[in-house]
Amino acid sequence: MRVVLQRVSRAELSVDEAKKAFIGSGALLLVGVEERDIGVDYKKLVEKILSLRIFPAIDGSSSFDRSIREVQGELLIVSQFTLFADIRKGRRPSFNRALSPDVAKKEFERVVEQFKESYEADKVFQGVFGAYMEVTLCNDGPVTLVIDYPW
C-alpha cells in the first residue's frame, strides 16, 4: 500500500460537479493498493497516521508537534491506483502493480473502515471509488509524506 498524506487547511471532493465531501483542517490521504496488500492488517498503519506529529504547536514553537487526533483534524481518503504507475518503458504509464478494481475496492473499504473504527467516524470522509473525481486542496505547510506499508 502506498499512501500520500498531505496536511491540509481544507479539501473538497466533487464527482460530476457535485460536491461529495469537504473537510477543514486535517489530512488528505491518497491511497493505492497492490497485490501484497490483500488481507493485510491495516491497524498499525492507521494508528501511525493518526499519531504522526505533523501539525504545529499551539504556541508556534514547533512545526511538527501535534497529531491529527490532538488537533481533532478531519480526514479525506481517496483511492488512487496511479500511485503505482510504472513509467520506465514507453510514454504511457503502466498500472500493472495496482490491484484489479473489484479487489482494490474491497481493500480500500477495509482501510476506510479501520480509520472509522480507530478515530471518530464523523471526521472520516472518502472519495467515490472508481469515479472520476475532482479534488481541490489547500496544502498546509506544505507537508506531504509518502508512506509505503507494510514496512
User: What are the structural domains, with CATH classification, of the chain?
Assistant: 2-148 (3.50.80.10)
pTM for the structure as a whole: 0.95
pLDDT at position 60 = 85
Q: Which residues are catalytic?
A: 82
Cα–Cα distance list, 51 to 58, 65, 82, 100, 116 (Å): 17, 10, 26, 31, 15
Predicted pLDDT of residue 58? 93
**What is the arithmetic mean of pLDDT over 29-44?**
95
d(CA 144, CA 57): 18
**Spatial separation of the C-alpha atoms in residues 25 and 10, rounded to whole Å:** 5
